[in-house]
Amino acid sequence: MSYSSSSKFPLLMPLMVACLIMAASGSNFHNDFDITWGDGRGKIVNNGEVLTLSLDKQSGSGFQSKNEYLFGKIDMQLKLVPGNSAGTVTAYYLSSKGTTWDEIDFEFLGNLSGDPYILHTNVFSQGKGNREQQFYLWFDPTTDFHTYSILWNPERIIFSVDDTPIREFKNMESIGVPFPKNQPMRIYSSLWNADDWATRGGLVKTDWTQAPFTASYRNFNADACVWSNGASSCKSNAPSSSTSTNNAWLSQEMDSAKQQRLQWVQQNYMIYNYCTDAKRFPQGLPSECKMS
């Protein structure tokens, strides 16, 4: 499969342009993130406007947010490892700590030059994951920056790419499905070697003659509730309409246009959905799958 043009879905182009304009203000990575490992392979450059992670045969690299969040709308622009990226994984995710952690994952699985990346998504709640959905993208994510977003509120998690939703995970605690809502999470990202599984199940290994492999980040934005000293920066009884407007994402859901775009992505670009993998769940599909 090769990358297709957006002509199949004309609404996408103005959406992408609008999203790029919206994110143009950006932020300073020095203020928001710490590079946590990689022995100098992670760098904040351009006066804090760009962060880069690199991978070579000795080590990958990673960073994490200074803040913890309990709900938010998180946007980041990424430009992925170009060329032959087989064996590499660029992970960008939210996660809490502990043995019953919560986690919301974007993982970008590298591939041979000319083949499309696989975008791997997962949701963990109380230490349990196994909720993978995988997609191809409708563009080459290595030639320019694109915006990858996580909307996380008490009712749903929505994964979006350039403001186009690709996946929704709803709160279905009413039927016994745990939902991430009590544990604050940090933002993490890492670039690492996973050639034992990442590309064609580990058949294609990392070509170290192509190293160093580099992914770039810019225009981070978090409309989010910062968790600090056991308390949230968001007030549940907002005193003013402006505060309520600023926190509109806390009750946001998809309108009919967004639902239509979600269906378009899932019909045309989804390549794996745990909810249709009956062989994997011989005792029956997970409860949430029966509700969708």
Distance in Å from the first CA to the final CA of the chain? 28
> What is the rounded distance in angstroms from the CA atom of residue 83 to the CA atom of residue 210?
8
Told to judge if 49 belongs to the known catalytic residues of this protein, a careful annotator would answer no
Structure tokens at 32: 């928001």
Residue 12 burial class via C-beta count within 10 angstroms: exposed 0-12, middle 13-18, buried 19 and up? buried
> What is the rounded distance in angstroms from the CA atom of residue 186 to the CA atom of residue 67?
6
Edge-first strand order for the sheet with 103-109 is: 33-37, 61-65, 186-193, 88-95, 103-109, 118-124, 133-135, 270-273
Phi, psi dihedral angles at 274 (to 5 degrees): -55, -25
Q: What is the DSSP letter of 115?
A: S
> What is the rounded distance in angstroms from the CA atom of residue 287 to the CA atom of residue 131?
11
Is omega for the bond preceding 282 within 30 degrees of 0, making it cis? no
Phi/psi zone of residue 176: left (φ > 0), alpha (ψ -120 to 50 degrees), beta? left
Q: 């957006």: which residue's tokens?
A: 6
Residue ranges of the alpha helices (H) in the chain? 12-22, 29-32, 241-246, 256-268
Report which secondary-structure segment, H or E, holds 124: strand 118-124
> What is the rounded distance in angstroms from the CA atom of residue 137 to the CA atom of residue 18?
19
Told to judge if 103 belongs to the known catalytic residues of this protein, a careful annotator would answer yes
Q: 């998690």: which residue's tokens?
A: 157
Set 107, 132, 168, 253: catalytic member: 107
CA 151 to chain centre: 10
Set 103, 132, 168, 173: catalytic member: 103
Q: Which residues are catalytic?
A: 103, 107
